[in-house]
A and B are shown apart, each in its own frame.
Chain A
Amino acid sequence: MKITGPSLPIAPGKIAPPIAPGVPSTGGADFLTTKLDVAVQWAQSNSLWPMPFGTACCAIEFMSVVSSHYDLARFGAEVVRFSPRQADLLIVAGTVVDKLAPVLKKIYDQMSEPKWVISMGVCACTGGFYRAYHVVQGVDEIVPVDVYVAGCPPTPENLILGIMMLQKKIQSGELARHREAKTFVPIRVGEDPVTAIPAYSNAVMAHVPGRHALPGMPPSAEDEATPGGKREMDAEIAAARGRENP
């Protein structure tokens, strides 16, 4: 079986005959070695099972992402589960208010390890423009977040980029949280809203700058210059397609 994966250290070469029946050869480039972790991470990153915790407008865009036009199946993440026990990726899509916060916490706790969280849209990331008496100012008050996806709501491309960034993180073995950091960060009462990403997190931000209103328009100078811009993302999507259909 030929395993193709972005980070598998595949050593090309001939496979030497075994030393004895049942005992493989141990010579340098004679056979393929990999760490179990790498193989597992490769498998995990390409078969994410998302559970959409969709509450508001972002949930509608999430539906667009999974439906035929944007087709999340191309990235191996199309098996949408509504039971947290069957999912390993929690996508918080939409505003989370104080009344819903304990529910989100409970759902996160019900997911089994390993698990990842994408915070989709500015409401989930920071509370957005609802700086108000009943809105959680970012879901990282409650659950650790791996990827923040910007936008109100994010465009489907942006969410896809977020998922691809998460795949990279999984393959590199990074985790957003300390394994033991399962504590519930209490909701701040009467304080000013959070302005910085909490210290325990090494989350990344998925953001496509200067997205164009119409497909086919040339990218701006800003896009060319920005890392993670439209040009780079197109290349990544093309590369991902190439991996699936060599």
Chain B
Amino acid sequence: MSATMAPPKGLEFLPVLEKNLGGRVTAREGLAADVPTLVTDAASLHETARFLRDDPAAAYDLFLDLASADLSRLPGAQAPKTGERFQANYILYSTKRNAHLRLKVNLPEKEPSVPTLTDVWPAANWFEREAWDLMGIDFKGHPNQKRLLTHGGFVGHALRKDYDAKQRWLCTEEDLLQTELAAQTDEPSDMFETTTLNFGPSQPATHGTLRIVMRLDGETIVAAESECGYLHRCFEKMSEAHTYSQVFPYTDRLNYCSPMLNNNGYARAIESLLGVTPPPRALAVRTILGEFSRVMDHLVCLAANLVDIGGLTNFWYAYQPREEIYSLLEACSGARLTVSYGRIGGLAKDVPGNFVPWCREIIKGTRERISDVETLVTRNKIVWNRFRGTGVVTKEQALAWGFTGPCLRASGVPFDLRKDQPYEWYGEVDFDVPVMTEGDNYARYLVRVEEMKQSLRIIEQILDKLPGGPVRSDDYRVILPPKEMVYNEMEALIYHFKLVFEGVKVPPGEIYSATEGANGELGFSVISDGSGFPYRLKVRPPCFPLFAAFEKIIKGGMVSDAVATLGLLNIIAGELDR
């Protein structure tokens, strides 16, 4: 880029960076709805990353995602240069400037490798392990580069385009024992014995799919290592083999406590890529049901966590509103839990006629149950002893570890995409973003309780001005036309046929689109090659950095505190492992 041209919006720091690096960094215009993109090479990646973090004009303090891609099957103008095949896309965010950035590195076919960024953003650790595991990109200098999501007996890198999606590998018990915890500990000379405790995966507090290996001195954790992948069901590989519409059921099962929010996030990503806007009623219903899902998610988080620490009563209280919301979702979509209600360009169908009074009734009941739970818990002596001062995460740690969502807000960073980059109807309603500064379990509990109340407030405001009209876009290139038209009009019949057989044709391009999931920023990185199938779909799961940091949070605490902390981080294995 020449010096005379003004840098693109949001990249005002670019001239300085170019001067420092001597032209090895270029800016690339993204889509209108996409994030600004910088392209660099592997040799100058580390320097660029440091600049982006430290320069006050850039200040990208949050590492959000690493979306790797295998470009070898991309056609035409999108095809990689000769000898190149892989790509690493780092998604960054600046909490000071409220801006996203994509940092792109193209990598060769043979021995793709980049320097690790774990020393710049510690959050990169697990993302890099995942990219190594699934895409085979080597991260030079990574402290612990080994498989993360697949098991030790796995051969090959599953997300490469030449990997057969059905090829499985035998996992034996020996393959599971890949933690090298013994090497971690530095035992003082006066400590004559420490014990190793295997915590999970089949343990009620770990929800069946998380595993932590701890070294204990008495009951104090001196070292810990967490492992995931016990629910890695290949979401990203599966979505490459399905049309854009067929991916909706898979997104339901990412965070199965709040499926509607995943539907919304995915639909928004694809709609931005297509340039389609759903009708206002569809967006309003999405917001309402999304907020109900957030309430459900927080309720199940609190209920399960309180059971883990010994308070069973709240479970029955918290599950009652969930059943009410399930009934509502079932009436709208036909399914209780996995709704698949979103469509590209709107919703599957309109809501039932008694939607508004029904919602109001649920809001009333939910408020009562939340207040019941609060009465039992908030000032409970046992809860205070177990929650206050345990699992503390400072503001700096939370940012470095890549936290988003309630856990980040409980540590004192008021970052909420609904407020900072409003989408759907969030710009038109009045709500507060609860923030605590303590960063302990009690703060996380209070933030979640308050968020539920704010969600109900949002829903009430939208119900007051719920617009009429259709819930499906009239752009029949992306959404099925109504049956009467299909039977009576030639053109509609053709659209119907093409949509069913070929899927939604999304124009070539790429996008990173983020929404506020129940646990934090839920991002979808999509690469489209112009066909009806996503070429590459990468999810930024909010839980992933939370669980990656878990082993650091619990170090030095007691085992019982670890249980309380794990519950309030709200790790959902479906989106953690995908």
Interface residues of A (CB under 8 A from B): 52-57, 59-61, 63-64, 67-69, 82, 94-95, 97-103, 106-107, 123, 129-135, 152-153, 155, 186-190, 192-193, 213-214
Contacts and interface: CB of A to CB of B under 8 A. Distances in A.
Nearest to B152: A99
Given A53-B202, A53-B208, A98-B169, A155 B230 contact: no
Interface string B159-201: 0000111111111110110000000000000000000000001
Contacts of B319: 63-64, 67-69
A52 B337 CA distance: 18
28 contacts: A53-B208, A54-B207, A55-B207, A56-B231, A56-B253, A61-B337, A63-B304, A64-B322, A64-B326, A67-B323, A82-B202, A82-B203, A99-B171, A99-B176, A100-B231, A102-B171, A102-B175, A130-B238, A131-B166, A132-B165, A134-B150, A134-B158, A134-B234, A155-B336, A186-B170, A188-B168, A190-B168, A213-B331
Contacts of A95: 231, 233
Interface in B305-342: 315-316, 319-320, 322-323, 326, 330-331, 334, 336-338
Contacts of B300: 60, 63
A55 B234 contact: no
Contacts of B158: 133-134
Interface string B219-257: 000000000011111100110000000000110110011
Identify the interface centre among A99, A188, A189: most chain B CB within 10 Å of its CB.
A99
Identify the interface centre among B203, B208, B252, B331: most chain A CB within 10 Å of its CB.
B208
A133 B171 contact: no
Contacts of B573: 55-56
A189 B170 contact: yes
For chain A, what secondary structure do more than half of its interface residues adopt (helix, strand, loop), or is it mixed?
loop
Nearest to A186: B170
Contacts of A132: 165-166, 233-234, 237-238
B412 interface: no
Interface residues of B, number: 57
Contacts of B165: 131-133
B345 to A, nearest CB: 23
A106 to B, nearest CB: 7
Contacts of A152: 338
B455 to A, nearest CB: 19
Given A57-B338, A60-B256, A131-B165, A101 B171 contact: yes
Identify the interface centre among B202, B300, B330: most chain A CB within 10 Å of its CB.
B202
Nearest to A131: B166
A133 B167 CA distance: 5
A97 B230 contact: yes
Interface string B108-139: 00000000000000000000000000000000
Contacts of B331: 213-214
Contacts of A192: 166
A61 B329 CA distance: 14
Interface in B138-167: 149-151, 154, 158, 163-167
Contacts of A64: 319, 322-323, 326, 336
A15 B480 CA distance: 74
